[in-house]
Chains A and B, each alone.
Chain A
Amino acid sequence: MFVNLAQSPEDLSADVCIIGAGAAGISLATRLAARSIDVILCEAGGLEASEASQGVYRAETQGDEYYDLETARLRYFGGTTNHWSGWCRQLDAADFESKVQGVPTSWPISKADLDPYFEETGNILELVDIKPDEALGRSGLNRIDLSFSPPVRFGEKYHSELDKSQHTRVLLNANLVNARTRDHVVNAVRVRDYQGNERDIHARIFVIACGGIENSRLLLWLNDIGDLPFAGGSRLIGRYWMEHPHAPIGSVVIGDKNRFTFDENALDFFSPTAAFMREKGALNSQLFLKSTSYGGAKEVIADLLCVAPDFGTWVMGQFGKKLACVAQLKAAWEQEPVFHNAVTLGEDRDRFGIPRSQLHWTRSRLDHHTIRQSAMAFAKHLADEDIGRVKLDSWLLDPDAGLPAPDEMGGYHHMGGTRMAQTATGGVVDADCKIFGTENFYVAGSSVFPSAGHANPTFSIVQLSLRLAEHLAGRLPHAS
Chain B
Amino acid sequence: MAMKVSRRKFNLGLLCSSMVAFVAAGVQRLKVRNGWVLRGED
Contact = CB atoms under 8 A, between A and B. Distances in A.
Interface size class of A (residues with CB under 8 A): 35 or more
B34 A307 contact: yes
Contacts of B37: 376, 379-380, 382-383, 389-392
Given A294-B3, A302-B9, 5 more contacts: A308-B38, A316-B5, A320-B3, A392-B32, A397-B35
Interface string A371-395: 0000010011011101001111110
B25 A383 contact: yes
Given A294-B3, A307-B16, A380 B26 contact: yes
Interface of A: 138, 250, 294, 298, 301-313, 316-317, 319-321, 376, 379-380, 382-384, 386, 389-394, 397
Q: Taking chain A's interface residues, is the majority helix, strand, or loop, or is none over half, making it mixed?
A: helix
B23 to A, nearest CB: 7
Contact of B2 (A305, A312, A320): A320
Given A380-B26, A392-B35, A306 B15 contact: yes
B24 to A, nearest CB: 9
Nearest to A250: B35
Interface string B1-41: 11101010110100110000101011110101111111101
Contacts of A392: 32, 35, 37
B6 to A, nearest CB: 9
A307 B7 contact: no
Given A320-B1, A380-B26, A386 B39 contact: yes
B35 A304 contact: no
A390 B36 contact: yes
Given A306-B10, A309-B7, A393 B15 contact: no
Contacts of B15: 302-303, 306
A294 to B, nearest CB: 7
Contact of B38 (A319, A376, A383): A383
Contact of B25 (A305, A312, A319, A384): A384
A250 B32 CA distance: 13
A303 B35 CA distance: 10
A286 B5 CA distance: 34
A306 B42 CA distance: 10
Contact of B36 (A302, A310, A317, A391): A391
A311 B10 contact: no
B10 A305 contact: yes
Given A305-B7, A307-B16, A308-B42, A376 B23 contact: yes
Nearest to A321: B2
Contacts of B5: 298, 301, 316
Contacts of B27: 384
A397 B28 CA distance: 20
A392 B5 CA distance: 24
Contact of B42 (A250, A311, A321): A311
A138 B10 contact: no
A308 B20 CA distance: 13
A304 B10 CA distance: 11
Contacts of A310: 41-42
B21 A397 contact: yes
Contacts of B42: 307-308, 310-311, 383, 389
23 contacts: A302-B9, A303-B15, A305-B10, A306-B12, A307-B33, A307-B36, A308-B36, A308-B42, A310-B42, A313-B7, A319-B3, A320-B1, A383-B37, A384-B25, A384-B26, A384-B28, A386-B39, A389-B36, A389-B37, A389-B38, A390-B36, A391-B34, A394-B35
Contacts of B21: 397
A376 B3 CA distance: 30
Nearest to A390: B37
A312 B35 CA distance: 15
Contacts of A382: 37
Contacts of A384: 25-28, 30, 39
